[in-house]
Structure formats: C-alpha cells, structure tokens
Amino acid sequence: MRRTLLVLLEKEFRQFMRNAFMPKMVIVFPLLVMLVIPWVATMDVRHVGVSIVDNDHSEASRRIVEKIRSSDYFSLKSVTESYEAAYASLEEGDADVILSIPEHFERSLAGSSPRRIGVDVNGTNALKGALGSQYMVQIVRQALAELQQEQMPVVATDLFVVQNRYNPTLDYQHFMVPALMIILLVLICGFLPGINLVSEKEFGTIEQINVTPVSRFLFTLAKLIPYWIIGFVVLTLAMLLAWWVYGLVPAGSVGSVYLAAFFFILTMSGLGIIIANRSSTMQQTMFVMFFFIMIFVLMSGLLTPIESMPAWARAITYLLPPRYFVEVMRAVYLKGASIVELWPQYLALVGYAGLFNAVAALTYKKQS
C-alpha cells in the first residue's frame, strides 16, 4: 500500500509540475492577494469630498474650513455662499457631503439656542455617506472645542479613557489579513484538487486508474496530499508576507495556527473532491465551487461580522467550516488565544475534516 501511494504521489507531482500554469499560480496568486488586497479592500473611508456653504464668515467658520482642509479624511472641493452650487457638485458626484454654516452661527453659540449646522450626505454609497457624516460631526466638534478653549481657557476634564484591546490602532488590515489567508486556502486547497480530478475525467487519463487494483481510498489520498503540502507552503508564504509587509505576527502560538490550518485544509480539499466526483465537466466544478466560495466569503465572518447578520443567517453560519477557522485565526493572531481556549472550534474542524474526506472517498466510483 505504501509503495502504491508513493507511485501515485509521484504521478500527481509530475502532473502538477508539467502544468505550465499551476506552479506559477501557487506562488504569484498569494503574493498578489497579500500585497494588494489589504490596501484596496478596506472599510476605512478617506478623501470624502466636501463642499462647504459658509454664510457666517466668522472665526468659527474659518476654523471649521481649515480643520476640514487639513484632514486626511476629507477632500475640500469648494467653499461657497450658494447652496445651489454646492448641491450641484453633490449631484455631479464631485462632493459627498455638503456642510452648511448658517448666518450668525458664531454669535448664536453664546446664546441659549445656537443655530444648527446642516450636513447633507450623498447616500448612494451608504457606507461612505454614513461614515463621512460621522467624521464630519466629529471634526466640527473638535474645531469648535479648540476655538472655545482658546477664547475661554478652562481645565479640561477627561470623562472617558478609551483603550482598544487586541488592535490598539483599529487597523483594518489586521482584521483583513487573517481573512485573506483563509480565502487563499479555500481557493488553493478546495478549488485546485477538484479541477485536477475533473480535468483527468475530461482527458480520459482517469480511465487508466480505474482499471487498476488501486483502491478508491488510496486514489483519493494521492489526489489530496499534494494540495495539503501546497496549502502549507501558501500559508507559510502568506504569514511571512504579513510579518514583513504589515508587521502582523501571531500574538499566540504559531503551532495553533498550523494545527487549525491542517484540519481546515483537509476539509476544503475533501469538499473539492466531493464536488469533482459529482461533476462531469470542469465548468460544472467551477460553478459549484464558486457558489460555495461566495457563501464562505459572505457568511463566515471573513469580511463582515456574523453578529450583524439576522438570526436565520447566524444559524446557517454554524454549518460553514470557515467560520471556525476564522475565529481561530483572529483569536490567535490578535488575542493570543491558545488551543485550550479554542477547543470547540478545533473540534468542529476535526469533525468537518473527517466527514468531508470520508464522503470524498465514498463518492468516488471506479468504473472498470
């Protein structure tokens, strides 16, 4: 059995290396994902276009304008007295927010009923509009607080002490990078084994295996082991890039990451083989795999928090293996959690790995 497995593995590695595309993709794809996506796929909103309608022309309004002009979160498009001109820039998409400062605004601050500043937001991009308006309110408050402090110095009393645990700078890249590692393993260890198996069906080479006494267990194992090894190579490369480019290293044990990755790689490769066993063409395999990938990305907490989903969606996420690996990766990377603390997630991954690989072996049917 050992000799048969070694011969099959040699055949799989030779077949992989002879492919002009696959070896290059295994190296180039993780590099592109880890070096590009964390910079472009971010939930931080910057350079929000602002058009200011200043009808006050006071020290307060000038302070607000300069505060916005110097902020990296905003891009000041115009300062005008005409609301119609500012609204035209909003309609054209040049501005995202209109800040309207009314007449006698600074004078009204000394009274009991100060005049209100208007903030009109372009809601086409809901996320940008919501965060842009929040940033605008904060920066206006800061400008007015600084002006009041200069005019009437008082001893400031801090009522709150805010500390951001596990991610002190609230850097979205620290949230995104572990998720990208998981996506890479889903694509490399789930997609490629299925494509490899179906391609043999289409080329007819699998018929040569079907007429041999090789058991379906050994055949399935030989198909999976190369991609298990490739998965660990890709994970190691991604972790090195996360450390080198973003300064992100696991706060916990690296062994905890690799152990969880081992079970997750088994799970994804088993899923890929199951889909390939039930597919006749490469197109069928790709469409089914893309369906699962979309579900994994959208519902496993990779990019959006599960807590924000409706109750029925949260219940479905317990059936998705990436959910447990996401929890392990973020807990180990950011919190420094150990295997003892994460044993339910590890147990779930072990169960899915055993189930999917057993089904993969059982659903492969030899035809002599």
| pLDDT for position 368 | 43
Angstrom CA distances, 96 to 46, 61, 87, stand at 11, 20, 10
Average of pLDDT values for 308-336? 90
Average of per-residue pLDDT across 136-152: 82
- The CATH class of the 48-151 domain is alpha beta
* pLDDT for 3: 78
3-state helix, strand, coil in the chain (%, to 5): 65, 5, 30
Q: SS3 of 161, please?
A: coil
User: How is residue 251 written in tokens?
Assistant: 């706060």
Domain boundaries in the chain? 2-41+168-363, 48-151
Q: What is the pLDDT of residues 211-262, one digit of tens each?
A: 666 676 777 787 788 888 999 999 999 999 999 988 889 989 999 999 999 9
Q: 127 near 303, Cβ under 8 Å?
A: no
Q: For residues 349 and 134, what is the distance between their CA atoms, to the nearest angstrom? A: 40
- Do 332 and 251 touch, CB atoms closer than 8 A? yes
pLDDT of residue 154: 47
